Amino acid sequence: MYESDVVVFFKNRISTHVGKLSMLLSAAEKDDRVVEDYHVQRAIKELSKVKDDLDIAFRFIGESKDVEAQSRVMDFIERKGQTNRSEILRYLKNHVTGDQLDRILLVLNEVGITRYAASVGSSQRNIIFQQQK
């Protein structure tokens, strides 16, 4: 299975994350500056939950000039569940151009985040958010 750079870097530093989170959990509970085994176990459990969501949290981090626009488009599509190009442009007219939106929608469709569906009684295609597994 392919792991993104974000997940690989996180895994490479997991022992550091466990240590820091264990200390925070201990400090939040008491003032004796002692990290107990159950703090470490809880830190491991909590960090394993975080690992599953890293790709989602960092999905638009990069150097593309469309990153901010892509993030806004993705947030809008996720909230709506199903929408179309015109609706996105109407809502985000101050943040995204038609050309940017076309590029963004193409990428989201190609990577499986969205899919197109025919719209009954309209020449537009609906854009449907697909929950990631």
Task: State yes or no: pLDDT of 121 exceeds 80.
Answer: no
Same domain, 71 and 125: yes
Same domain, 53 and 71: no
For residue 54, what is the DSSP state? H
By three-state DSSP, how is residue 66 classified?
A: coil
Indicate the range of 21-25, 33-37, 50-54, 56-60 predicted with least confidence. 56-60
Three-state DSSP string of 49-93: HHHHHHHHHCCCCCCCCCHHHHHHHHHHHHHHCEEEHHHHHHHCC
Same domain, 15 and 38: yes
Measured CA to CA, the distance from residue 60 to residue 36 in angstroms comes to: 37
Same domain, 75 and 51: no
Same domain, 93 and 39: no
Residues whose CB is less than 8 angstroms from the CB of residue 73 and which lie 6 or more positions away in sequence, other chains included: 88, 92, 96, 101, 104, 105, 108
Give the pLDDT confidence score for residue 133 in this predicted structure.
46
Same domain, 52 and 76: no
Question: Which residues constitute the domain of residue 13?
Answer: 5-57
CATH of the domain at 73: 1.10.10.10
- Number of structural domains found in the chain: 2
Q: Is residue 22 part of a domain?
A: yes
Q: Is residue 62 part of a domain?
A: no
Give the pLDDT confidence score for residue 37 in this predicted structure.
95
Single-letter residue type at 89: L
Indicate the range of 19-28, 99-108, 112-121 predicted with least confidence. 112-121
pLDDT in tens, 55-110: 666 665 655 677 788 889 989 988 888 888 889 999 999 999 999 998 888 888 88
